[in-house]
Chain A
Amino acid sequence: MGIIKRLGLNLSWFKKLFKKRKARIGIYGPPNAGKTTLANRIVRDWTGDAMGSVSHIPHETRRARRREGVTIECNGSSVTLDIIDTPGLATRIDFHDFMAFGLTEDEAKRRAKEATEGVIEAVKWLDDLDGVILVMDATEDPYTQVNVVVIGNMEARKLPLLIAANKIDLPTSSPARIHSAFPQHPLVPISALDGQNIDALYQQISEHFG
């Protein structure tokens, strides 16, 4: 840990003075919230590539993926991000859940084992980030323990956090419910799938992580 961190000094004014324009940002959230879909959308919009495959089966992303040097330009300013798409955080992983999606027992057990390793990797990454985009499924109850843990960790570390209330293309979505649960953090309602409101997210990313 750096001397400045150890001394507990808040040098945000210093960073602002010199306009730090590069940040390592983790995309976090529970399984199937749309983290990889969002990571793909951001990377595709600004570099033309993609980051990883998506699936309706939970824990499709079981290894953290890092994409360096993604430059986002917004309203005349730009910020360069290292984006880390992390495996979904969970407190339970039961291979029977994967069998319900048609996987064989062996496949389900293998996926469960890899998923547990992925969760550990996601937790470890929290130590090496400058900020987090927390992806929440806006059709679900926002008070999940995963959300509480990620938000609690970022608040304890005094690092910036941006909530992406995803899946607003679905009729049952309610970004307002998420906002009332965590009013202390900036929130952008988006659909990572069809790109709805994604420019507002880029604006917020530029403001909060630049």
Chain B
Amino acid sequence: MNGIQMDLISEDKLDGMTSMEKVRLILDEVRNGKILILEKGLTPSEQTKLIELTMTEIAPDDFSGIEIESYPVKQSDTFLNKLLGKTSLKTRLTVIGPASQLKTIKKDRDLISALVSTP
């Protein structure tokens, strides 16, 4: 059967990885044509690392980059954080795939609609 492989990566697995491991895993899998769905998403600094590394790997007629879509981060407002006057950011579900195969149709605060095509 022809098709596109889609991997859904759990929050627990992501929590056990360093930032560099996550970025490397994503790029390797996406370059192999997979679509990844990350349950937890990436921190802002991990997203910039991913953009940087993606740029170094772009090559004409081989790899044109990635499509990445996530909901905007949420401020975590737990009771303890409020008490301590702290704010922490909560990352959210993220979809990543090859730019040549994944195209976002529409995105808003609560919906990501994308089109996936075969290579």
> Measuring CB to CB, which residues of chain A are less than 8 angstroms from any residue of chain B?
89-95, 109, 112, 116-117, 119-120, 123-124, 126, 141, 143-145, 148-149, 151-153, 155-156, 181-182
Contact = CB atoms under 8 A, between A and B. Distances in A.
A89 B51 contact: yes
B108 A116 contact: no
Contacts of B60: 95, 109, 112
Interface residues of B, number: 30
A123 B65 CA distance: 16
B64 interface: yes
A116 B56 contact: yes
A155 B58 contact: no
Given A112-B60, A143-B107, A156-B89, A92 B47 contact: no
Given A119-B51, A145-B47, A145-B70, 12 more contacts: A91-B54, A93-B64, A116-B56, A120-B52, A120-B55, A120-B56, A144-B107, A148-B70, A149-B48, A153-B45, A153-B47, A181-B108
Contacts of B100: 94
Given A91-B54, A93-B55, A117-B55, A143 B109 contact: yes
Contact of B52 (A123, A143, A145, A152): A123
B58 A112 contact: yes
Interface of B: 43-45, 47-48, 51-52, 54-56, 58, 60, 64-73, 75, 89, 99-100, 106-109
A95 to B, nearest CB: 5
Contacts, number: 84
B interface, over-half SS: mixed
B113 to A, nearest CB: 11
Nearest to B72: A148
A99 to B, nearest CB: 11
